[in-house]
A and B are shown apart, each in its own frame.
Chain A
Amino acid sequence: MTDRTAETHMDTAPESSNSIAPDRRAIVKGMATAGLAAGVALPTYLRGFETSAYAQTSAPVKMGFIEDESGNLSVYGIQKLHAAQLAVAEINAGKTLKGAPDIGAGFLGAEATVAKNPPVISKEGTSLAVVDDGGAKSPVDLAYVEDADILVDSGEKGILGRELQLLSSDGQSNNAVWQQLARKLIQEDKVDVLVAGFASAEREAIRPIVDQFKQLYFYTNQYEGGVADANTFCTGPVCEQQVIPTVQYMVEKYGPKCYTIAADYNFGQLTAAWTKAFIPLVGGKIIGEEFIPLSVSEFSQVIARIQAAKPDWVMTLLVGQNHHNYYPQAAAAGLKYPMASTVNMAQGYEHKRFAPPSLARMHNAIQYQLEVPTARNRAFVKRWMTMFPNDPYIGEMAQNTYFTIHLYAKAARLAHTVDQQKVKRCLELGWNIEAPEGSVFLEPGTHHCAHPIRLAYCDEKHNVSFLRDWPMIQAWWLQRLGVNLIRSPEFKQYTPDEDPYFKMFTI
Chain B
Amino acid sequence: MDVIGVVASIVYQFCTNTAFLLLCALGLIVILGMMNIINLAHGELMMMGAYAASATYSRGAPFWLAAIIAFIAVGIFGTLLEVTIVRRFYGRELGALVVTWGVSLVLSQGFLLLFGPFMPPIQIPEGNIALGQYSFSYYWIAMFVVAALLVAALWWIYNRTDIGLQARATMQNPSMARALGVDTRRIYMMTFTLGAALAGLSGALLAPTTSIMPFMGQQFVASAFITVVVGGATNVIAGAVGSSLLLSLVKTPIGFFLGAFLGTVALLLAALIIIRLIPDGLSAAIQRRLDLRHRMR
Binding site for B on A (CB under 8 A): 70-72, 74-75, 78, 264, 290-293, 295-302, 304-305, 307-308, 310, 321-322, 324-325, 328-329, 331-335, 350, 353-355, 390, 392
Q: How far is the CB of B219 from chain A (nearest CB, A)?
A: 4
Given contacts A74-B117, A328-B208, contact A293 B219 (CB under 8 A): no
B: residues with CB less than 8 A from A are 6, 9, 12-13, 16-17, 20, 109, 112, 116-118, 121-126, 128, 130, 133-137, 139-140, 208-211, 213, 215-216, 218-220, 222, 251-252, 255-256, 259-261, 263-264
Name the one of B123, B208, B213 contacting A75, with C-beta atoms under 8 angstroms.
B213
Partner of A321, one of B6, B135, B215, B259: B215
Question: In the complex, what residues of B have CB within 8 A of residue A392's CB?
Answer: 116
| Of B9, B215, B256, the contact of A72 (CB 8 Å cutoff) | B215
Q: Which of A74, A290, A335, A390 contacts B260 (CB 8 A)?
A: A290
Name the distance in Å between B210's Cβ and chain A's nearest Cβ.
4
Cross-interface CB contact of A301 among B130, B208, B256, cutoff 8 Å? B256
Inter-chain contact B13/A304, CB cutoff 8 Å: yes
Contact A328 B135 (CB under 8 A): no
Q: Are B139 and A332 in contact (CB under 8 A)?
A: yes
Q: State the 9 A-B residue pairs at the shortest beta-carbon distance, nearest first.
A: A355-B123, A334-B135, A332-B124, A297-B219, A301-B255, A334-B128, A332-B137, A300-B16, A75-B117
Give 28 A-B contacts (CB < 8 Å), ordered by A residue: A290-B259, A291-B261, A297-B209, A297-B219, A299-B260, A300-B12, A300-B13, A301-B13, A307-B9, A307-B134, A321-B211, A324-B210, A324-B211, A325-B210, A325-B211, A328-B123, A328-B124, A329-B124, A331-B124, A332-B125, A333-B135, A333-B136, A333-B137, A334-B128, A334-B135, A353-B211, A354-B211, A392-B116
Q: Min CB distance, A192 to chain B, in Å? A: 31
Tell me whether A300 and B112 are in contact (CB under 8 A): no
Complex CA distance for A74 and B263, rounded to whole angstroms: 30
Contacts of B130 in A (CB 8 A): 334
Q: Which residues of A contact B109 (CB under 8 A)?
A: 70
User: What A residues does B124 contact at CB under 8 A?
Assistant: 328-329, 331-332
Complex contacts, A331 vs chain B, CB 8 Å: 124
Q: How many A-B residue pairs have CB under 8 A?
A: 119
Q: Is the CB of B264 within 8 A of A293?
A: yes
A355 touching B121, Cβ below 8 Å:
yes
- Report the Cα distance A297→B264, complex, angstroms: 11
Is the CB–CB distance between A353 and B121 below 8 Å? Answer: yes
> What distance in Å separates the Cβ of A9 from its nearest Cβ neighbour in chain B?
41
Known A293-B260, A293-B264, A324-B211: A353·B118 in contact at CB below 8 Å: yes
- CA of A246 to CA of B220, assembled, Å: 34
Give B140 Cβ to nearest chain A Cβ, in Å. 6
On chain A, the residues within 8 Å of B135 by CB distance are 307, 333-335
Tell me whether A300 and B140 are in contact in the complex, defined as CB-CB below 8 angstroms, given that A75-B117, A321-B211 are known contacts.
yes
Query: B residues within 8 A CB of A293?
Result: 260-261, 264
By a CB distance below 8 angstroms, the chain B residues around A310 are 133
Tell me the bound Cα distance from A75 to B123 in angstroms: 20
Q: In the complex, what residue of chain A is closest to B15 when comparing beta carbons?
A: A300
Minimum Cβ distance to chain A for residue B66 (Å):
14
Which of A71, A322, A350 makes the CB contact (< 8 A) with B219? Answer: A322
Q: Which residue of A lies closest to B123 (CB)?
A: A355
Q: In the assembled complex, how far is the CB of residue A304 from the closest CB belonging to chain B, in whole angstroms?
A: 5
**How many angstroms between the C-alpha atoms of A335 and B137 in the bound complex?**
10
- Other A-B pairs beyond A297-B219, A298-B16, A322-B210, 14, CB < 8 Å: A70-B109, A295-B219, A295-B264, A296-B260, A296-B264, A297-B210, A298-B20, A300-B140, A301-B17, A301-B263, A321-B219, A325-B210, A334-B137, A353-B118
Nearest CB in chain A: distance from B107 CB, A: 13
Determine if A300 and B123 form an interchain contact, defined as CB atoms under 8 angstroms apart: no
Give the shortest distance, in Å, between A406 (CB) and chain B (any CB): 26
Rounded to whole angstroms, the CA-CA distance of A153 and B140 in the bound complex is: 58
Whether A300 touches B259, Cβ cut-off 8 Å, given contacts A293-B264, A325-B209, A354-B211, is no
Closest to A76 in B: B117
Contact check, B118 vs A75: say whether CB atoms are below 8 A apart: yes
- Pairwise interchain contact A301-B252, C-beta atoms closer than 8 A: yes
Q: Is the CB of A305 within 8 A of B259?
A: yes
* Nearest-neighbor residue (CB-CB) of A328 within chain B: B124
Task: Tell me if A295 and B222 are in contact (CB < 8 A).
Answer: yes
When C-beta atoms are compared, the residue in chain B nearest to A294 turns out to be B219
Given A71-B215, A75-B213, decide whether A264 and B134 contact each other with a Cβ distance below 8 A: no
CA distance A195 to B134 in the complex (A): 48
CB-CB < 8 A to B137: which residues of A?
329, 332-334
A74 to B211 alpha-carbon distance, docked (Å): 14
* With known contacts A70-B112, A295-B219, A328–B260 Cβ distance under 8 A: no
